[in-house]
Amino acid sequence: MTDRVDEANAPVVAEGVRGSRPSGPSRALVTGGSSGLGAALCRALVARGDQVVSADVNLPAEPIDGVGYLTLDVRSDQDWSDAVAWVDREWGGLDVLFNNAGVAGGGRVDVAGIEEWEWITGINLFGVVRGTKAFVPMMKRQRSGLIVNTASLAGLVHPAGMGSYNAVKAAVVAFTETLGHELAEYGIRAAVVCPSYFRTGLVDAMQGTDTAVGEVIGALVAHAPLGPDEIAAAVLEALDRGEELILPDEAARAAYELKVTDRAAYDDLMRKQAARLNAMGAR
**Is 165 a catalytic site residue?**
yes
- Check residue 281 and give left, alpha or beta (phi > 0: left; psi -120 to 50: alpha): left
Q: How far apart are the first and last CA of the chain?
A: 39
Q: How far is CA 256 from CA 116, 156, 211, 253, 265, in A?
A: 27, 7, 27, 5, 12
Cβ burial, residue 252 (10 Å; 0-12/13-18/19+): buried
- List, in sequence order, every residue forming a beta bridge with 98; answer none if it has no partner: 30, 148
Active-site hit among 69, 165, 256, 266: 165
- List, in sequence order, every residue forming a beta bridge with 148; answer none if it has no partner: 98, 191
H/E element, 51: strand 51-56
Gyration radius of the chain's alpha carbons: 19
Strands 245-246, 96-99: pairing is unpaired
Residue 125, classed as helix, strand or coil, is coil
Cα dihedral 32, 246, 205, 224 sign: negative
User: Hey, which residues are catalytic here?
Assistant: 165
